[in-house]
């Protein structure tokens, strides 16, 4: 087995230093969310300069951070951040979003969806679909992207727009679905309850079986069916071109492998990119990890290759 990348070890040390330097309380959910954002400030420093504005989208005024609005492009990205459905915001992923917008040369609509446990599924799917439908009215080509639970959310929303799954108070929108040119998903959770990677790496901080289950419990209502999270077994008729990124040292690694296999069997248009020597969440650590810039460049190349007018 390949050892953990030296830069990933540096990330671990710096994360520990930041926790000690800030010494933030984490008793209440409000404190936990504030701490999550504060601990990302150092990581978000630097990177390319890209404009960012806040907009409200749809009849329910979904909060969106729009990056790179000045780019003249025929494609746009709709992004969903990670954070276990409980924490996170576009601000926590700011450097990553700026880098993606800069490298892809297109705007990014980053969805600040309602967090759990205050808001349960399918609210987040409804909000994300509203943003996609809004963007579809003004852009011919849309790429859906997300990391961790944001990747899960984007896959769910794509299925909902296709009509592959039924979501309360959300009608399929085949017009919007026809404009989805691709999916780029970073280390998402796609429904496996047991796997080699889960057994091997579940001792990692915040990623134990109990941790993963607590995230699910936060997002699902008391009578909610866990099948909404099982994306590997959904009988989808087709998938957009897909780029799935996994981390070698991640309990969720095999989820990405399984989904890549499913997409390959269904539509045959999938790139599976497993990044060696790194952990879950690694895309947020571009200030230290060289692999982040490499992935972003590869995703940008894939995006341009899959934009219909460029084929």
Please give the Cα distance from 123 to 120 (Å, whole number). 6
Look at 309 and 251; give whichever has higher pLDDT: 251
Host H or E run for residue 163: none
Confidence band of 2 (pLDDT split at 50, 70, 90): very low
Please give the Cα distance from 302 to 269 (Å, whole number). 12
Average pLDDT rounded to a whole number, residues 68-90: 97
Confidence band of 309 (pLDDT split at 50, 70, 90): confident
- Read off the tokens for 162: 């296709």
Sign of CA dihedral 193, 9, 35, 102: negative
Would you state the pLDDT for residue 248? Answer: 97
Distances (CA, A) of 193 to 25, 209, 261: 32, 9, 17
| Contact indicator for 161, 177 with CB cutoff of 8 Å | yes
- Read off the tokens for 286: 């571009």
Q: What 8-state DSSP symbol labels residue 83? A: S
Average pLDDT rounded to a whole number, residues 285-304: 98
Look up the pTM and report it.
0.96
pLDDT beyond 70 at 49: yes
Range of weakest confidence among 58-72, 150-164, 221-235:
221-235
Top CATH class of 6-305 equals alpha beta
Please give the Cα distance from 188 to 175 (Å, whole number). 26
Would you state the pLDDT for residue 227? Answer: 86
Would you state the pLDDT for residue 11? Answer: 97
Would you state the pLDDT for residue 226? Answer: 85
pLDDT tens, 187-239?
Answer: 999 999 999 999 999 899 999 999 999 999 999 998 877 888 999 999 888 99
In a 3-state reduction of DSSP, which class is residue 131? Answer: helix
Would you state the pLDDT for residue 19? Answer: 97
Confidence band of 297 (pLDDT split at 50, 70, 90): very high
- Read off the tokens for 95: 């450097």
- Read off the tokens for 209: 């079986």
Average pLDDT rounded to a whole number, residues 10-37: 97
Q: What 8-state DSSP symbol labels residue 10? A: H
Would you state the pLDDT for residue 5? Answer: 82
pLDDT beyond 60 at 299: yes
In a 3-state reduction of DSSP, which class is residue 193? Answer: coil
pLDDT beyond 70 at 310: no
pLDDT tens, 99-132?
Answer: 999 999 999 999 999 999 999 999 999 999 999 9
**Residues across the chain:** 311
Average pLDDT of every residue of the chain: 96
Please give the Cα distance from 291 to 51 (Å, whole number). 24
How many C-beta neighbours within 10 Å does residue 39 have?
16
- Read off the tokens for 67: 């990056």
Please give the Cα distance from 132 to 128 (Å, whole number). 6
Please give the Cα distance from 189 to 281 (Å, whole number). 12
User: Rounded to 5 degrees, what are φ and ψ at 293?
Assistant: -60, -35
Please give the Cα distance from 153 to 124 (Å, whole number). 8
| Contact indicator for 58, 130 with CB cutoff of 8 Å | yes
pLDDT beyond 50 at 134: yes
In a 3-state reduction of DSSP, which class is residue 187? Answer: coil
Confidence band of 311 (pLDDT split at 50, 70, 90): low
In a 3-state reduction of DSSP, which class is residue 184? Answer: strand
pLDDT tens, 161-192?
Answer: 999 999 999 999 999 999 999 999 999 999 99
Host H or E run for residue 73: none
């Amino acid at each position: 087995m390949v050892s953990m990348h030296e830069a990933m070890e540096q990330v671990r040390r710096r994360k520990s230093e930041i926790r000690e330097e800030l010494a933030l309380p984490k008793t209440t959910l409000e404190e936990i969310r504030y701490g999550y954002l504060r601990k990302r400030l150092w990581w978000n420093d630097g990177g390319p300069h890209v404009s960012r504005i806040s907009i409200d989208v749809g009849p329910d005024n979904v909060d969106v951070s729009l990056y790179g609005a000045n780019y003249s492009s025929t494609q746009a990205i709709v992004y969903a951040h990670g954070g276990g459905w409980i924490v996170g915001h576009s601000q926590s992923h700011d450097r990553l979003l700026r880098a993606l917008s800069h490298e892809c040369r297109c705007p990014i609509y980053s969805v600040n969806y309602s967090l759990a446990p205050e808001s349960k599924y399918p609210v987040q799917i409804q909000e994300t679909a509203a943003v996609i439908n809004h963007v579809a009215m003004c852009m011919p080509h849309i790429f859906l992207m997300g990391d961790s639970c944001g990747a899960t959310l984007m896959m769910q929303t794509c299925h909902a727009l296709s009509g592959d799954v039924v979501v309360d108070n959300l009608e399929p929108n085949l017009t919007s679905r026809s404009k989805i040119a691709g999916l780029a998903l970073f280390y998402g959770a796609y429904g496996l309850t047991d796997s080699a990677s889960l057994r091997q790496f579940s001792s990692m901080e915040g990623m134990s079986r109990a941790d993963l289950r607590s995230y699910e419990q936060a997002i699902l209502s008391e009578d909610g069916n866990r099948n909404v999270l099982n994306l590997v077994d959904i009988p989808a008729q087709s998938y957009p071109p897909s780029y799935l990124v996994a981390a070698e040292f991640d309990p969720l690694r095999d989820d990405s492998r399984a989904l890549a296999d499913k997409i390959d069997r269904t539509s045959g248009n999938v790139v599976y990119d497993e990044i060696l020597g790194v952990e879950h969440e690694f895309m947020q650590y571009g200030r230290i990890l060289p692999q982040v810039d490499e992935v972003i460049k590869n995703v940008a190349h894939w995006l341009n290759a899959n934009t219909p007018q460029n084929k």
